[in-house]
């Protein structure tokens, strides 16, 4: 479990940056941003296989944790309503 959390910590800034890029690029309803963040995190976790020897399911968990953590961080800072830019 420690490996999953360490890998999620490494993935967190990458996933957060990609989610912000998607938010700035596309006009999306704000209520689907956490789902998009989770999906991006899982995708990044899956394709990061050259950097770790963890199983695919553990990389998926780490990516999901990183995606949800990235969304939670931004939601704590700002109260948001409406659509993205």
- Residue 77 — very low, low, confident or very high, per pLDDT cuts 50/70/90? low
Task: Please report whether residue 44 resides in a domain.
Answer: yes
Could you tell me the pTM of the whole model?
0.78
Domain coverage including residue 62? 2-77
Element (H or E) spanning 7, and its range?
helix 2-25
- What is the per-residue pLDDT across 47-63, written as a single tens digit (0 to 9) for each? 987 878 888 899 899 98
Domain count across the chain: 1
Residue 84 within any structural domain of the chain: no
Contact 62, 54 (CB under 8 A): yes
* 84 against 36, higher pLDDT: 36
């Amino acid at each position: 479990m420690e490996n999953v959390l360490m890998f999620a910590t490494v993935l967190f800034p990458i996933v957060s940056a990609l989610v912000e890029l998607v938010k700035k690029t596309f006009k999306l309803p704000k209520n689907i941003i956490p789902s998009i963040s989770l999906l991006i995190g899982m995708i990044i976790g899956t394709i990061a296989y050259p950097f770790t020897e963890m199983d695919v399911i553990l990389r998926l968990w780490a990516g999901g944790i990183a995606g949800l953590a990235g969304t939670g961080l931004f939601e704590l800072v700002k109260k948001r309503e409406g659509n993205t830019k």
